[in-house]
Amino acid sequence: MIPATLKNLPEVCKYGHVSKKARNEPLSLYTCLEAFLREEPLVPEDMWYCPQCKERRQASKKLDLWRLPEVLVIHLKRFSYSRSMKHKLDTFVNFPIHDFDLTNYVANKNSTRRQIYELYALINHYGGMGSGHYTSHIKLLDENRWYNFDDSHISPINEEEVKSAAAYVLFYRRVNNDRASASNGVYSTDIRRLQEVSVGKDLR
């Protein structure tokens, strides 16, 4: 799972206040990923302890993607906490539905495989910090169609309706080079089991 930040990127979002303007401006998922992987200095209270000199030193840290899974789960951090306040981040993140290309983000340059992903499901969160409601959008494989799951209610939706500022957790599947993008999803034969799950209630 890759958590993706939604605040102003990168240092301001991790250490300081975010202006209302910055929070309201749309972001791309690629921008969030680049901020997540960018090298960042450690704050003074979290300085690195050097085992040789036995002292705390100024340092920086960096995360890399070395190998990617068949199923990639991205958690958008929509809740911000500080000593004085906490709030929900309603920034719209423009995430790819098709052809989510992560090839250039893999640090292992010995890998020649293209890292292309397709969205097949996502979880939405509506509400604020104290309370809220969860729904999900799922693409059925044999119908090549999206459905909205809201508690026990299931209804078809257009692909254009999948994106919203409520997107909270994104589920991607790797696409093989010889496979059509429409092959990513869930079989409608599983719909009976999905109908038995109250999505909103189970995730509260």
Degrees, nearest 5: CA angle 41-43-49:
85
Q: 3 pLDDT band (50/70/90 cuts)?
A: low
Determine the pLDDT at residue 191.
56
Each residue of 46-67: b (16+ CB within 10 Å) or e? eeeeeeeeeeeeeeeeeeebee
pLDDT in tens, 63-90: 888 889 999 999 998 888 777 777 888 8
User: For the residues 108-118, what does the mean pLDDT come to?
Assistant: 86
Our count of domains for the chain comes to 1
Domain containing 99 equals 2-203
Q: What is the CATH number of the domain that holds 52?
A: 3.90.70.10
| Cα 82 to Cα 18, 45, 62, 125, 194, distances in angstroms | 11, 16, 23, 21, 38
